[in-house]
Amino acid sequence: MGLLTPDIGLVFWMTLTFAVVLFILGKWGWPVIIKGLKKREEDIKNSLLAAENAKKEMEKLKAGNEELLLQARQERDNILKEAKQAGSQMIEQAREQAKLEADKIILQARENINFEKEKAIKEVQTQMAQLSLDIAQKVIEREVENPQVSSELIAKQLEKISFK
């Protein structure tokens, strides 16, 4: 017969071979393949679930990181604010301390000036007293000798005393 019309024996053997192959595949091949496909499908589902969970976890971590970053910025701002306040306070304390020291120095200088002034006045008074005694002594000595000379002597001594 020809190629287009196969012989009955050939059809029989082909059908028998097909049935045996189908039986072997149905008994041992298809269950393994189906089991592998189901396992693969399950693995893909698990992978997708794991990816979804990882995505959610990443979002949580990202939100947590943003919150931590915000807290760190707030803490940094607080630290800077406290440092500025402490610096201002230190400057103010230094100013107050300097003012107190300056007032103390001024007071001490005034006391020294007053002391020196009193000392100078006492010294001038002592010198004036000595000069007065000297004038009186010379006047008395000259008075005894000549009254006109004593008045000239007093005038000369007064010229020496004047503060020019």
- Selected residue with higher pLDDT from 6 and 27: 27
Q: How far is 61 from 63, CA to CA, in rounded Å?
A: 5
* Domain contains 12: yes
User: What is the tens place of the pLDDT at every residue in 58-113?
Assistant: 999 998 898 999 999 999 999 999 999 999 999 999 999 999 999 999 999 999 99
* Domain contains 3: no
* Domain contains 152: yes
pLDDT computed for residue 164 by the predictor: 47
Look at the chain and report how many structural domains it folds into.
1
Which domain range does residue 66 map to?
Answer: 8-161
Q: How far is 130 from 137, CA to CA, in rounded Å?
A: 10
